[in-house]
Amino acid sequence: MSSQTQAEEESIYTDAFVGRNSWNGREPNMLLLNAGEGRFIEVGVAFGLAGTKDGRGMAVADFDLDGDVDYAVNNYEAFAELWDNQVGNQRPWLAIRLRGQAPNTEAVGALIRVHTGERIQTRLVGVGSGYA
């Protein structure tokens, strides 16, 4: 696995993208959808994300600021790709902009916890992991 999204607390996990980082360059990337109770379903083929490009790193963000998660994938010996989530946002969402003190103005290392009903969602601000 070259990259995956940050795990949430209390055995609740986000969806995951797996760049295969293969030896032969023909291993398809995978997108794993959280099915609950620690189970994941591979949906990369169904969503058209599983091509044979050799994904080496990934960044997850709401690149177009529409409230859903998009994926940027850095491929080995191929152009990088931006997978824009076009499903549409059907749920409430929250955007947070962190500002750190110089020299850490991007607040790297910050831990964000959001309490939503009975769930606690946690994210860690990080940089420099993988090729993305």
Q: Which two tokens stand for residue 93?
A: 């969402």
74 pLDDT above the threshold of 90: no
In the prediction, which pLDDT does 104 show? 94
Per-residue pLDDT, averaged over 82-96, amounts to 79
Cα torsion through 12, 18, 21, 27, rounded to 10 = 140
Confidence tier at 8 by pLDDT (50, 70, 90)? very low
10 Å Cβ neighbour count for 55?
32
Confidence tier at 102 by pLDDT (50, 70, 90)? very high
Name 84's Cβ contacts closer than 8 Å, sequence gap at least 6: 63, 64, 70
H helix or E strand, kind and range, residue 121: strand 119-124
pTM of the model: 0.62
Handedness of CA 97, 5, 79, 56 (dihedral sign): positive
In the prediction, which pLDDT does 112 show? 92
pLDDT in tens, 33-59: 888 777 888 887 887 777 667 777 778
* CA–CA separation, 108 and 29 (whole Å): 28
